């Protein structure tokens, strides 16, 4: 694995592009900037084409003979299926407003990470095969043949985009690079050109219900462990149910929260909150994944994985669904799920059993974000909270790309944080809400072999955190995304040491006064509560 | 190369008319045949392109939300940047089309002393807005050549545009604005290294073409007079479908007209189609209500899924051992 | 989701706007303004003196500039004498010089100005001559 340079070195970034025209510059595969290739066995599980072990480093990518035709046919097909794709191929004027909005360009300086140029990688091929000008004038018209070099360039750069859609906020025509990256990945998927870090979880999720590949008993074991911890801290033993038919609510959250810190603390937060409310809910081991790495391979794969949520809700006969804290999960849920696998007419319009609030905004897809659910509880005074328990924390909040730009879930988590913490500080305006920065590791780029890419992409976010750390002494970065919890920890350690990462419901659970709880000495992390230090 | 090729292309176009009109007497070709042909290409071309876009469906509901969603009643929704209904979408689109809302957000991101800093950057927005609006006003002003009795609204626009009352014929503000704006848009493409890097010949060509049109127009109005009554006669002949070529109009007019014809004919085949495209952009023209109203994908097809039954078959023993309920014992 | 209805409405609006000049004019007679330079005053003049201060071609495109220069010269410098390209001198005056011959404002000035939708501000200050019946 390539050694990661020190932050002081990595931040020396030159944003000036080279003299040589980009079309004459083939992609140079730089260690630390890309993920390993997919494994044949994972591809086989989903019947993906061209299943074989391969490595992007090697000259020979073991492509099928007719790979070029495959892509060109797929391109023609998708142009007729997606208006976004055809339109975004046609109308860009290359004004450059998007150029310095991409976290990978800001943190890396590679001109092909300017969203406009990333899209041009695809457009140039589109022009060659689908426009008169491109056919006649070729390079002068910005058109080029699809060659092996172009394919490799696509692979390198479409796996250096996290589909965060920040560029689309600034584009005067709303051109969304995510749409183009998704097409690029969809085409390459047809040649088996996935990454191991994506196809592995996808295969796991398909067979076992979650990205981590946790089998049913392993899920229960993991949660059992949390239940023990909760009991130690609060003296209360929560008793969640699994795969229980007839429950009112199905709860689905990203599996990352079942596995590693600090996600597990967020998961403990859910368990404590739902126990305290006494709601009639169940977990599922079959639909044990809210996230959807299939979304990073192809539309069809995403749909195949997503189908489990409604199917399980139907099988268990629940009335509606609560979804946990996750970013891309909610983009898929709010903009795709109902279209793919709906209508969910076997469910009822979500209604909070505690407050009676009807969630009309989820009338059709029948799934409520847990922060919407909790914000409503707090507003209605249904939770006893002691925010002083979080007084050791100076919190800032990172909007996930997908909940911000694919949904607009901005105030709900802030409202919760403000009710469970006394010290909350916003990062600068240009880095939050709809202008929020990606953690740098979304869309399945959260592997370890591409750490340089992740740290570069994480720079703008980390830099904004650093700003509030220096100004206000912020020491905790809250978010509502499992990928964030996993990846921001790494980028904080690298760029802004001293700042920890938390889910919003961990903060809720710390402040939550449960009926019959013992006097808490520690927070969910086992660290002494403010005022209880030294009482070991 | 990317700059020179389109520059010389425009020069060649100008020389072509010059030779055609001044030496070969091809006034009818440049004054009647080509404008008609260009307009036909423009109309059919734009229709074709839009219909082609329209023939691809919008399979998924993908608005880019730029504000608070509609959720709980006590949380204030941003009804324009994150609309949940048609009215909000109309306002959002109107702001986008009329005042370039998204471009107004533009920032300049830089690294300074190991820090990422964000600065104001409204020049592109200002120049873009100035260019597009002056282009539109100029276009509307020109309707005085295309109506026997010029509608009062056009006269009003014309008088507003010349309200400074400088010089004779009265100086139009938009003439200066469009020249400045286009020049700025050209220079930023050449001077900002990133923009230069991404620019194609097809980005420079329309700039040179429009600059050529504006310059020839300005020269005609203020410096080298053409026979203006003749110009209107020609224009009226065109629009009443009784084309004629009045004597002695002057070659500058034919250059102006030919460059416009080229722009019209080039329009549907180029990035200039963003005029129509912006209205069809699914990240902007959809209400964020996909959780409330199911969006239909016309080509949604059944996919192979791993069913619960298959899952239980794989793990039945382990599930039973862990005390999980199963469908089949 | 095709939204065909909205797209068709949009295209119809587009076509209506672009073709407006056509359906606004089709079938109408495209009459060119004919200027009358046969006022009694001009006819009284001997044949060789029936000439404007400058050539017809110059006056057609440049009369507004000439009048503007005259105004500046008279109002700012008090100079009322204009020497033309043939070294002939004239009294710089719209009302007393130009309109002396072109006594038919309606058929001379207004005809073209109306045709071109130009509204010169000469008559904001100057008094328009009374139209004489020919």
Instruction: Give the model's confidence band at B303: pLDDT under 50 very low, under 70 low, under 90 confident, else very high.
Output: very high
Q: What's the number of domains chain A is made of?
A: 2
Q: Which residue of A has its CA nearest to B67?
A: A408
- pLDDT greater than 80 at residue A534: no
Nearest Cα to Cα of residue A435 among A399, A407, A394, A409: A399
Q: Kindly give, in sequence order, each residue whose CB lies less than 8 Å from that of residue A135, ignoring residues fewer than 6 positions away.
A: A128, A129, A143
User: Which residues, numbered 75 to 114 in chain B, qualify as contacts with chain C under a Cβ-Cβ cut-off of 8 Å?
Assistant: none
List the chains bordering chain C where 3 or more Cβ pairs fall under 8 Å.
Answer: B
pLDDT of amino acid C106: 86
Q: Could you tell me if A239 lies within 8 Å of chain B, comparing CB atoms?
A: no
Calculate how close chain B gets to C39, using CA atoms only, in Å: 22
- pLDDT greater than 80 at residue B18: yes
Domain assignment present for residue A490? The answer is yes
End-to-end Cα separation, chain B, in angstroms:
75
- Do residues A370 and A245 both lie within one domain? yes
- Do residues A393 and A476 both lie within one domain? yes
Residues C76-91 pLDDT 10s: 999 999 998 889 899 9
C-alpha dihedral sign at B48, B52, B58, B63 = negative
Calculate how close chain C gets to B58, using CA atoms only, in Å: 5
End-to-end Cα separation, chain C, in angstroms:
71
Calculate how close chain A gets to B34, using CA atoms only, in Å: 20
**Which residues of chain A does B115 touch, with a Cβ-Cβ cutoff of 8 Å?**
463, 466-467
| Segment A488-503 mean pLDDT | 96
Nearest CB to B277; choose among A90, A114, A459:
A90
Mean pLDDT of chain A: 96
Nearest CB to C28; choose among B148, B155, B168:
B148
pLDDT of amino acid A150: 97
Backbone angles phi, psi at A321, to 5 degrees: -130, 140
Return the CATH architecture of domain B4-298. Answer: Up-down Bundle (1.20)
Q: Could you tell me if B306 lies within 8 Å of chain A, comparing CB atoms?
A: yes
pLDDT of amino acid A64: 96
Domain assignment present for residue C134? The answer is no
Mean pLDDT of chain B: 95
Residues A223-245 pLDDT 10s: 999 999 999 999 999 999 999 99
Express as a percent the part of chain B with pLDDT over 70: 100
Domain assignment present for residue A41? The answer is no
CB-facing half-sphere around the CA of A27: CA atoms within 13 A: 27
- Mean pLDDT is lowest, of A500-509, B297-306, C57-66, for C57-66
C-alpha dihedral sign at B71, B72, B75, B80 = positive
Instruction: Give the model's confidence band at C103: pLDDT under 50 very low, under 70 low, under 90 confident, else very high.
Output: confident
Strand B107-112 vs strand B115-120: parallel, antiparallel, or unpaired?
Answer: antiparallel
pLDDT of amino acid C101: 87
| Segment A36-62 mean pLDDT | 95
State the SS3 of C31-65.
CCCCCCCCCHHHHHCCHHHCCCCCCHHHHHHHHHH
User: Which residues, numbered 142 to 201 in chain A, qualify as contacts with chain B under a Cβ-Cβ cut-off of 8 Å?
Assistant: 142, 165, 168-176, 179
- Mean pLDDT is lowest, of A364-368, A468-472, B311-315, C49-53, for C49-53
pLDDT of amino acid B167: 84
- Do residues A180 and A297 both lie within one domain? no
The three-point CA angle A164-A166-A171 to 5° equals 135
Contact B194 A244 (CB under 8 A): no
Q: Could you tell me if B242 lies within 8 Å of chain C, comparing CB atoms?
A: yes
Distance, in Å, from the CA atom of B263 to the CA atom of B267, rounded to the nearest integer, reads: 6
> What ipTM score was computed for the predicted complex, to two decimals?
0.95
Q: What's the number of domains chain C is made of?
A: 1
| Domain ranges for chain B | 4-298
Domain that holds residue A286: 201-511
Contact A304 B295 (CB under 8 A): no
Residues B148-173 pLDDT 10s: 888 899 999 999 999 988 888 889 99
Contact A132 B294 (CB under 8 A): no
**Which residues of chain C does B42 touch, with a Cβ-Cβ cutoff of 8 Å?**
18
Calculate how close chain C gets to B83, using CA atoms only, in Å: 18
Express as a percent the part of chain B with pLDDT over 90: 89
What is the b/e burial string over B193-226, where b = at least 16 CB atoms within 10 angstroms of the residue's CB? ebbebbbbbbbbbbbbbbbbbbbbbbebbeeebb
Angle of the A148-158 helix axis to the A177-189 helix axis, nearest 10: 120
State the SS3 of A501-515.
EEEHHHHHHHHECCC
**Which residues of chain A does B57 touch, with a Cβ-Cβ cutoff of 8 Å?**
81-83
Q: Which residue of A has its CA nearest to B59?
A: A82
Q: Quick check: A423 and A11 in contact, CB under 8 A?
A: no
Nearest CB to B197; choose among A111, A131, A220:
A111
- pLDDT greater than 60 at residue B130: yes
- pLDDT greater than 90 at residue C111: no
Nearest CB to B72; choose among A120, A308, A376:
A376
Domain assignment present for residue C64? The answer is yes
Q: Could you tell me if B284 lies within 8 Å of chain A, comparing CB atoms?
A: yes
**Which residues of chain A does B100 touch, with a Cβ-Cβ cutoff of 8 Å?**
172
Domain assignment present for residue A535? The answer is no
- pLDDT greater than 70 at residue C134: no
- Do residues A211 and A125 both lie within one domain? no
Structure tokens at B49: 């392109």
| Segment A330-353 mean pLDDT | 97
Contact B58 C4 (CB under 8 A): no
- Do residues A160 and A16 both lie within one domain? yes
| Segment A356-367 mean pLDDT | 97
Domain that holds residue C38: 31-125
Instruction: Give the model's confidence band at B77: pLDDT under 50 very low, under 70 low, under 90 confident, else very high.
Output: very high
**Which residues of chain B does A409 touch, with a Cβ-Cβ cutoff of 8 Å?**
69, 71
- pLDDT greater than 60 at residue A183: yes
**Which residues of chain B does A430 touch, with a Cβ-Cβ cutoff of 8 Å?**
107, 118
Contact C61 B146 (CB under 8 A): no
- pLDDT greater than 60 at residue C94: yes
pLDDT of amino acid C133: 52
DSSP A236-257: ------BS-TT-SEEEE--GGG
DSSP B150-207: --HHHHHHHHHHTTT--TTTTPPHHHHHHHHHHHHHHHHHHHSHHHHHH--HHHHHHH
Q: Quick one: C130 exposed, middle or buried, by C-beta within 10 A (0-12, 13-18, 19+)? A: exposed
pLDDT of amino acid C132: 56
Q: Which residue of B has its CA nearest to C62?
A: B225
Q: Could you tell me if A89 lies within 8 Å of chain B, comparing CB atoms?
A: no
Say if residue A168 is preceded by a cis peptide, omega within 30 of 0: no
| Segment A497-508 mean pLDDT | 97
Contact B62 A406 (CB under 8 A): yes
Express as a percent the part of chain A with pLDDT over 70: 99
Structure tokens at A524: 């969910």
pLDDT of amino acid A94: 97
Q: Kindly give, in sequence order, each residue whose CB lies less than 8 Å from that of residue C14, ignoring residues fewer than 6 positions away.
A: B46, B276
Q: Quick check: A95 and A172 in contact, CB under 8 A?
A: yes
- Do residues A370 and A504 both lie within one domain? yes
- pLDDT greater than 80 at residue A444: yes
Strand A395-398 vs strand A367-369: parallel, antiparallel, or unpaired?
Answer: unpaired
Torsion of CA B126, B127, B133, B139, to 10 degrees: 170
Residue ranges in A333-429 assigned as alpha helix (H): 338-341, 370-379, 401-405, 411-420
Q: Which helix (H) or strand (E) segment is B116 a member of? A: strand B115-120
- Do residues A134 and A216 both lie within one domain? no
Contact B128 A311 (CB under 8 A): no
């Amino acid at each position: 694995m390539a050694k990661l340079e020190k932050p002081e070195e990595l931040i020396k970034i030159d944003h000036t592009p080279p003299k040589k025209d980009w079309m004459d510059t083939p992609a140079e595969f730089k260690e630390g900037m890309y993920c390993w290739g997919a494994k044949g066995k994972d591809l086989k599980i989903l019947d993906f084409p061209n299943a074989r072990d391969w490595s992007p480093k090697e000259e020979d990518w073991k492509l099928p003979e007719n790979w070029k035709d495959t892509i060109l046919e797929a391109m023609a097909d998708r142009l007729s299926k997606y208006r976004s794709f055809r339109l975004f191929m046609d109308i860009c004027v290359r004004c450059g407003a998007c150029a310095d909005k991409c976290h990978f360009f800001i943190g890396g300086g590679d001109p092909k990470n300017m969203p406009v140029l990333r899209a041009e990688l695809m457009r140039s091929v589109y022009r060659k095969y689908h426009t008169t000008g491109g056919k006649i004038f070729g390079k002068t018209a910005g058109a080029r043949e699809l060659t092996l070099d172009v394919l490799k360039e696509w692979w390198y750069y479409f796996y250096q985009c996290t589909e965060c859609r920040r560029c689309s906020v600034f584009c005067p025509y709303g051109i969304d690079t995510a749409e183009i990256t998704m097409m690029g990945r969809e085409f390459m998927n047809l040649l088996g050109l996935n990454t191991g870090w994506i196809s592995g979880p996808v295969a796991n999720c398909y067979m076992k219900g979650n990205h981590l590949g946790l089998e049913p008993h392993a899920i229960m074991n993991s949660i059992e462990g949390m239940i023990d911890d909760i009991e130690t801290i609060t003296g209360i033993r929560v008793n969640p149910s699994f795969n229980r038919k007839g429950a009112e609510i199905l709860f689905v959250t990203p599996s990352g929260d079942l596995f590693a810190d600090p996600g597990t603390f967020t998961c403990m937060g859910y368990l404590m909150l739902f126990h305290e409310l006494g709601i009639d809910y169940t977990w599922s081991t079959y639909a044990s994944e809210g996230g959807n790495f299939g979304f990073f391979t192809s539309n069809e794969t995403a749909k195949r994985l997503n189908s489990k949520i409604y199917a399980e809700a139907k099988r268990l006969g629940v009335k509606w669904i609560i979804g946990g804290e996750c970013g891309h999960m909610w983009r898929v849920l709010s903009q795709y799920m109902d279209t793919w696998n709906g209508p969910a007419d076997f469910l009822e319009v979500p209604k909070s059993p505690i407050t009676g609030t009807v969630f009309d905004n989820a009338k059709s897809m029948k799934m409520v974000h847990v922060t919407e659910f909790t914000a409503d509880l707090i507003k209605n005074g249904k939770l006893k909270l002691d925010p002083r328990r979080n007084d050791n924390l100076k919190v800032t909040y990172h909007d996930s790309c997908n909940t911000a730009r694919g949904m607009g879930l901005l105030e709900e988590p802030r409202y919760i944080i403000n009710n469970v913490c006394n010290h909350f500080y916003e990062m600068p305006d240009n880095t939050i809400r709809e202008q929020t920065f990606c953690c740098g590791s979304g869309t399945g780029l959260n592997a370890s072999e591409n750490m340089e890419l992740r740290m570069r992409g994480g720079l703008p976010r980390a830099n904004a955190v650093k700003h509030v750390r220096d100004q206000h002494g912020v020491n905790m970065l809250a978010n509502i995304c499992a990928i964030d919890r996993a990846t921001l920890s790494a980028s904080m350690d690298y760029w802004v040491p001293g700042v920890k990462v938390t889910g919003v419901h961990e903060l809720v659970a710390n402040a939550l006064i449960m009926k019959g709880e013992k006097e808490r000495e520690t927070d969910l992390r086992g660290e002494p509560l403010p005022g209880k230090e030294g009482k070991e | 190369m990317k700059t020179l090729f389109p520059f010389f292309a425009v020069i060649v176009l100008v020389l072509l008319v010059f030779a055609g009109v001044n030496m070969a007497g091809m006034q009818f070709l440049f004054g009647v045949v080509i404008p008609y042909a260009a307009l036909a290409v423009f109309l059919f071309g734009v229709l074709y392109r839009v219909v082609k876009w329209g023939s691809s469906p919008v399979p998924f509901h993908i608005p880019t939300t730029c504000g608070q969603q509609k959720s709980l009643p006590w949380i204030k929704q941003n009804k324009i940047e994150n609309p949940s209904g048609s009215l909000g979408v109309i306002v959002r689109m109107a702001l986008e089309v009329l005042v370039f809302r998204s471009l107004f957000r533009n920032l300049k991101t830089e690294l300074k002393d190991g820090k990422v800093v964000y600065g104001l950057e409204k020049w592109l927005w200002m120049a873009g807005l100035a260019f597009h609006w002056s282009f539109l006003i100029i276009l509307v002003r020109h309707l005085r050549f295309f109506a026997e009795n010029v509608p009062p609204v056009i006269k009003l626009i014309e008088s507003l545009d010349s309200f400074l009352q400088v010089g004779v014929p009265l100086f139009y503000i938009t003439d200066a604005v469009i020249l400045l704006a286009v020049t700025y848009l050209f220079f930023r493409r050449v001077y900002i290294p990133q923009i230069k890097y991404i620019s194609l010949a097809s980005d420079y060509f329309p700039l040179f073409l429009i600059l050529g049109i504006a310059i020839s127009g300005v020269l005609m109005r203020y410096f080298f007079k053409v026979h203006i009554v003749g110009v209107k006669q020609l224009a009226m002949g065109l629009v009443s479908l009784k084309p004629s070529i009045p004597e002695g109009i002057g070659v500058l007019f034919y250059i102006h007209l030919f460059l416009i014809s080229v722009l019209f004919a080039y329009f549907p085949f180029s990035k200039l189609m963003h005029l129509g495209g912006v209205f069809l952009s699914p990240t902007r023209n959809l209400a964020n209500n996909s959780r409330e109203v199911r969006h239909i994908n016309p080509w949604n097809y059944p996919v192979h899924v791993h069913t619960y039954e298959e899952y239980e078959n794989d793990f039945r023993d382990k599930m039973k051992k862990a005390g999980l309920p199963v469908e089949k014992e | 989701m095709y939204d065909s209805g909205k797209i068709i409405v949009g295209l119809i609006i587009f076509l209506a706007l672009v073709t407006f000049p056509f359906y606004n004019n089709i079938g109408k007679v495209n009459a060119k303004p004919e200027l009358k330079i046969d006022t009694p005053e001009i006819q009284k003049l001997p044949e060789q003196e029936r000439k404007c201060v400058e050539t017809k071609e110059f006056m057609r495109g440049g009369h507004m500039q000439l009048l503007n220069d005259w105004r500046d010269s008279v109002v700012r410098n008090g100079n009322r004498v204009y020497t033309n390209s043939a070294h002939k001198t004239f009294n710089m005056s719209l009302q007393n010089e130009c309109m002396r011959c072109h006594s038919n404002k309606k058929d001379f000035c207004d005809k073209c100005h109306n045709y071109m939708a130009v509204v010169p501000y000469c008559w904001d200050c100057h008094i328009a001559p009374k139209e004489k019946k020919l």
